[in-house]
Structure 1
Amino acid sequence: MRRLLMDTDPLGLNTYMCMIPLHSLGGNGTRSGPDIWGNPFYHQYLCIDDGNGEYICGGQDRSGGAFLPGSRGKATNDTWPSGENGACKQVDDQKCVDECVKNRVENKKRPWYQIPFGIDCQDWSEEVLESCQKSCRTNNLPMGWFNRLW
Structure 2
Amino acid sequence: AQPGQLLLIILIFSRLWPRFTSIQSNLEQLAASIPAFKSLIELQEECKTAKELQDIEQCYKHVKPMSIRKGIECRNVYFRYNENEHVYALQNINVQIPTNRMTAIVGRSGAGKSTLIDILMGLIQPEKGQVLIDDATITSDNLLALRKSISYVQQDP
Q: TM-score, structure 1 length as denominator? A: 0.24
User: What is the TM-score with the length of structure 2 in the denominator?
Assistant: 0.24
Which of the two has greater helix per residue? 2
